[in-house]
Structures are given as C-alpha cells and as structure tokens.
Chain A
Amino acid sequence: MSLPESMSRVVIVGSRAHLDKAIEALYESEILHLVDYTNGSDDGFFIGRPLKGSQEASERLLRIRAAEKELGLKASAEDPFPVKDIRAQISAGKVDEIEKEVFAVADERNNLVQRISDLEAIHRNLSLLSRLPLDMELYSGYDSVKVFIGTFKTDPTEALSGLENAEVFTDVRKSEAPVAAVFVKASDSDKASAILSDHRYSEIPVPEGSGPPGLMAEKVAAEIADLNARLEEIGRNMAEFSEKHGAFLAASDEELSIQVEKGEIPLRIATSDYSFVIDGWVPSVQVESAKAELEAKLEGTAYVEFQETRGRKQHESDEAEPRFKTAPSKMKNGEMAAKFEYPTKLVSTPKYNELDPSILMAVFLPFFFGFMVGDAAYALPFIILGLYGIKNAKSQEFRAIGTVLFFGGIWAFIFGFFFFGEMLGMHFIAPDEFDALTVNWQDLLGIASYPDWFVSIIPGGHGVGKLVDVTFLLKVSVYMGIVHLFIAYAIGFYNSYIQHGLKEAMQHNGGWLFILVGLVMVCYAMTEVLFYSKAIEGVLLYTLLAGVILLLIGAVIAWPVEKAQVIMEMPGIVGNILSYTRLAAIGMSKAGMALAFNYMSIIMIGSGGDIVSYIAGFLIFLIGHLMIWVLAILSAGLHALRLQFVEAMNKFFVGGGDEYAPLMVKRKNTKIVETEV
C-alpha cells in the first residue's frame, strides 16, 4: 500500500527571448508537470502569446487533417520518418502541394457524386413518365391549359370526369402507384388541384427535353454509367494517392501537432515584457537531477529554483495559493500492483495525500473472483485468455481485463482444486454417502481409489461441497468480508491520520474501527444464541460483553463528529458484511447450474440408448458448461469489482486527484535521429 510519489514545486525563470529554448528543454527532460498560470496572480505578469510559427503550424495542421479526411486515411507510417526530414519537407511546401492535389481530386469527386445523384433523380422521374404515352414536349408550353403530372394513391380519372374539357392520361398498375398526366383549362386549375389532392397527388418534376421519355431515360442512364466509371477511376487515384502520401501525411500531422502543442505552452505560463516564469511539479527524488539537467540544457539562459516539497497534511494544501493547492498524484506501485491501477482509475485518480488502493485491488480482486468461480476446469480458459490478453491486447482496458482474468484464473484453480476439489461442477473424489448430488469423477471414470497423497491434499477427503457445506461457505465469506472491511477502515484511519493528525483520525475513522469489531463480536454471540440455542455463558458471554463495550467506546469516540450517524450507520455495516455472502451465493448458483447440466447429460449418455441421446447428452454438457463459464466472467467479475468499489473503497477512498502528466511528446510516426539533436 503506497502513497502517490512525493512532489516538489520548482520555478523556472528566464529571459523571454529564450522561451522557445526553455520549452524545448522541458519537453526533452519529460519531468515537469506544468501548473497553469492565471492572470492576476502576480503584478506585471500576464499569460503569454503563442510562439512564433505556431499559428501557421495550426493552420497547416487543419488543412492536413482535412486532406486526411478526404482520403479516408487512418494510416500510420510503417517506418517512422526522421523529424529533420519532415520539418524540411513541411517548410519546402510539400504539404501544400499534396494538399492542393488532394483537394483538386476531392472536389472533382464531390462534384461527380452530386451530378450522379441529380441524374439519378431525373432518371427516376423519366422512368415514371415513360409509363404515359406522351412525348416530353407535350408537357409544357401552354397558355390556357394547366398540366398536372404526378403519382397518386388512387386513380383520379373518375373524379376528374366532372371537369369540362379535362384530358387525363393514366397508367394504373397493381404493384406500383398510379401515374397520371392531367390537362385542364387554366381557369379550372383550383378545382382540379382540390380533386387531385384528395387522391394524394405528388408532383413529378418534368425534365427539359423532347421525344419519348423512355428514350431520354436511356440516355441519362448511359451518362450515369459514364460518370460512375470516372468516379471509380478517381477512387483508384485516391487510393494510389493514399498509398503514396499516407505515411507522409500521418507523419506531418504528428509533427505539426507537436509543434502546435509546444507553441501554445506560453498560453499556460506567466510572462512579462522581458521575462517568463514557469511553475511546475517534479517528483521530489528527482528535483536535484532535474535541476541539473535543465540548467545544463538551458546553458545559463534561465534559472531553476526549488520552491517547496508538499507534505501530506491537508492544511498545507489548503493554505497554498489556489493554483498550487493540488499537487499531482503519480501512483507508485510495483510491477504487479501497477497492472491494477486501471480499475482504481475507473473510480478516480487517488488524491496526493491518500493511499492508492491498487495493491488492495491486486490482492482481493482476483482472490474474490477465484473464490466465486472455484472450479479447476473453468480456471484454465481464464488463465489462457488472461495471458493472451496481457501479451497481445493493445488497449489498456483489455490488458487490465486480461490481468484480472489471469490472476483470477490462478486463484480459481487453487480454490477449485485444493479447496472445493472439483472440476466442471463434479468432485474428483466420491463422497462417503451417495445421493442425487453426488455425480463425481471417481464414479464416472470408474476409478477404484486415488493415491493417498491426492486424497490428503483435498480438504475433508473430498473437498468442500458448494451445495453441501452451505453454512460453512457462508461463514467463510462473511469472515473474508470482515477482514476486507477491517482493512478498508484501517486505510481510512491512516489517510485521516496523515491528513489531519491522530485526534481527527480517531473521531472520523478510529471510532468506526471499534464499532466494526464490536458489531462483529455482538453479532457472532447473537447468532450462536438465536440460531444454535446456546446459553449465554462462558466465552459467549464475554464475547458479547466485550462487543458491547467496544461498540460503546466506538460510538463515544465517533459521536462528536458523526452525531446520530453513528447509530444510523450501524445496520449499514452489518449490511456491508452480509453483502460478502455473495461470494458463497454466486459460487453456489454456478454449482447448482453445473449440477443440473451434468445430471441431464449423464442420464442421457448413461441411458444406454441410441446415438441421438449420446449426441444430445454431449451437447447439453458442452453448451451448458460454456454458458456457466461465460456467466462466470460477468457475475464473478462484476461482483468482485463491486465488493472493491462499493463495500471497501467507499470507506476510505475520496479520489479526484490530478494525475501527474509531465510535458512530453509521444512520437509514433516520426523519430528523432541522434545526429540532429
């Protein structure tokens, strides 16, 4: 269990003429967590202006991103480009050249796409019109005649017969909407329009042209085909283009992003007319080396001064200037526990002055997971899958899941083999008495007897039965819960102690520790008395008395701060402890399902029937266990996480820390070649 690394604040002061050099040096040393300057903190100092060239770089970057988007690029360079080459090419205007080419092609493509979509609409209209026996020129050019051409829901011919001199051409088909051209006197157009709208008239825009619409539609179709061919050609050109320039674009994107980021650093620091001041945090152990390194790089153009080492007491943070209040948290864990920092961060980054719960996570998360799964056979795929995830997963999430599965799988194997003594829901060793719940490997495989050493490593000679030793398992889970909660309260006490001192720690957290222990003793005594009808005497009486005394002591200590909360929260603690019974309950539910599937398949296979029942029995066995295994990831994984997050971490973890993020750049598509530095 460790606190985040101790942090010290340093200030770098120099002449403004050398600001770009200072920023470069800071990025190279990769150690300073910058503190943003706020205007008005010091007289005569203001937020700076971006470095020269930054504006230009960000405009270029914008254009490159647009070009990349046009090309649909997400490529990264296979071989990183040397930074020197990229810079030279950018300043020689290669980016602008490529971009011009890309946009020229992209513009043509966009125009083509637009033209094709227009032509397709015209083609649709022409094919509708071709259903009528009229040539194109007949639809327009009248003074005293109004023409309505469109599709309808129902045939309007009959309704229009009342209009004088109305001429109607229709084409009615079963599967398609009727098409009609209606010619009426211009003076009747309002009436006609009313009738048509009753028949759900929807106008067809008539394209300009002459001759039969069918012929025209064919011409349009030919044009569309030509344009599509050109579009394909352009697509091929662009693909070639991406291949040729993709890597370069990705590399320039990266280089320019870095330039922009560095160029905007002055916006986060204080500058006066002739000087600059940079405040930041560095890990305390590295202060001296960082100072030496920076001063060497700056060659006397700026000075680095140590300001303070931030302690863990809360008042130190409270009394600091607002922008120096929170020191960043750099989680300090060994290689193993570091793998479990991800689940901690899912909740929040630890504060600078509180214990980082990653180690607690590393111990209990796989342990609980393993206890709930508790089966030697289910464990193996977890171990393999976890190992695969750790080795091959690229994203942090999947690596974290892989880690939990791997260690969880190991615990599941240990519990499954050495505690429950079972595999696929069946015990290795047959129990002494035979009943329905005793499908087991020994009887199944007809093993007469196991070697003595094998029987001796499995508890009770045949392992703990998930559905037999129910009370025992529930008790074990409650005990695990008590230990887990005790650790959680103890961490809370320690956090309070380092932040506020002993008195406050006692009042805020110490009282609860007493209450927890007292409650456990009282509850133990009460269960013995109520459930097992034991008399209150001897050890039981002392336990009860001691429990009550501890409860009272705890309540008295916590009362000044917590007031009536003390009494109201007590049932909550019992609830928290009982919540750990899920460890046993989930194991049991899985065992219950496994039992059912095993029973079904063994009856089917063992019935001595035909091949069909063999196959069905085997399938039930396979699918059933696969289902239990998949459910195990969800239920055991989520519940293990929940016990950490809710029951334990709620007791001590505040979070909301500021993660230590030193100024640095990660290059993927570009590289710095030694000779140019």
Chain B
Amino acid sequence: MELGLIAIGAGLAVGITGLASGWAEKDVGAAAVGAMTEDPSLFGKGMILMVLPETIVIFGLVVAILLIFVTGASV
C-alpha cells in the first residue's frame, strides 16, 4: 500500500512538473525560434532562455528519484 502511494507520488512529481515545464517552454521556444529566424546569431541567448524553465522538471525528477530509491527503499 505504502509503496503504491510512493509510486503514485513519484509519478505525479515528474508528470506535473513536466507539464509545467512544457507550458513555460512553449512560449519561450516559439519566441526564440522567431528571433533566430531573423538573426541566427541569437541561438545562444535563445537557448539560455529556452532551457530556463526546464529546471522545474529536473527538480520533479530528482524528487521522484528520491521518493523511489530513498524513501521507497526504507519501506
């Protein structure tokens, strides 16, 4: 039972943060691609802005990993 809840929690952690990252990146990405078509040298700056929100899902992934392998192992 407890292990199941941990698994659900881990899934939610990755899933929801993934959605959030995607939502944030879609706007930045569209604008960055638009800017890059005008001036390809903006790639670096575009990429920096583009990947900023992706930290959200990485944190989600780390939380999920901690849940499964650290909390899960002790159950």
Contacts and interface: CB of A to CB of B under 8 A. Distances in A.
Give the secondary structure class of B's interface.
helix
Closest 7 CB pairs of A and B: A346-B44, A347-B44, A470-B69, A582-B58, A642-B51, A585-B61, A581-B62
B47 interface: yes
B54 to A, nearest CB: 8
Contacts of B62: 474, 578, 581-582, 584-585
B55 A470 contact: no
Contact of B65 (A575, A588, A642, A645): A588
Contacts of A585: 58, 61-62, 65
B66 interface: yes
A589 interface: yes
Nearest to B58: A582
Given A470-B65, A471-B70, A646-B52, 7 more contacts: A348-B45, A474-B66, A579-B58, A582-B62, A642-B48, A642-B51, A646-B51
Contact of A638 (B44, B51, B52, B55): B51
A347 B69 contact: no
B58 A581 contact: yes
Contact of A467 (B44, B55, B58, B69): B69
Nearest to B52: A646
Interface of B: 43-45, 47-48, 51-52, 54-55, 58-59, 61-62, 65-66, 69-70
Nearest to B73: A470
Nearest to A582: B58
19 contacts: A343-B44, A346-B44, A347-B45, A347-B48, A348-B44, A348-B45, A467-B69, A470-B65, A470-B66, A470-B69, A470-B70, A578-B62, A582-B55, A582-B58, A642-B47, A642-B48, A642-B54, A645-B51, A646-B51
A645 B55 contact: no
A423 interface: no
B48 A645 contact: yes
A204 interface: no
Interface string A370-403: 0000000000000000000000000000000000
Interface string A457-496: 0000000000110110010000000000000000000000
A641 interface: yes
A175 B39 CA distance: 49
A642 B55 CA distance: 10
A358 to B, nearest CB: 13
B47 A641 contact: yes
A594 to B, nearest CB: 15
A645 B70 contact: no
Contacts of B61: 582, 585, 589
A582 B58 CA distance: 6
A579 B44 contact: no
Nearest to A469: B69
Given A581-B58, A585-B58, A585-B62, A645 B47 contact: yes
A659 to B, nearest CB: 11
A641 B51 CA distance: 10
Contacts of A345: 44
Nearest to A589: B61
Interface in A48-94: none
Contacts of B43: 346
A488 to B, nearest CB: 14
A343 B66 CA distance: 33
A4 to B, nearest CB: 18
A645 B44 contact: yes
Nearest to B68: A470
Given A470-B66, A470-B69, A646 B44 contact: no
Interface string A84-119: 000000000000000000000000000000000000
A357 B74 CA distance: 44
Contacts of A467: 69
A528 to B, nearest CB: 15
Contact of B55 (A343, A346, A347, A579): A579
B48 A646 contact: yes
A468 B73 CA distance: 10
A654 to B, nearest CB: 13
Contacts of A641: 47
A613 to B, nearest CB: 29
A575 B54 CA distance: 13
Contacts of B70: 470-471
Nearest to A576: B55
A474 B66 CA distance: 9
Contacts of A646: 48, 51-52
B55 A575 contact: yes
Interface in A643-663: 645-646
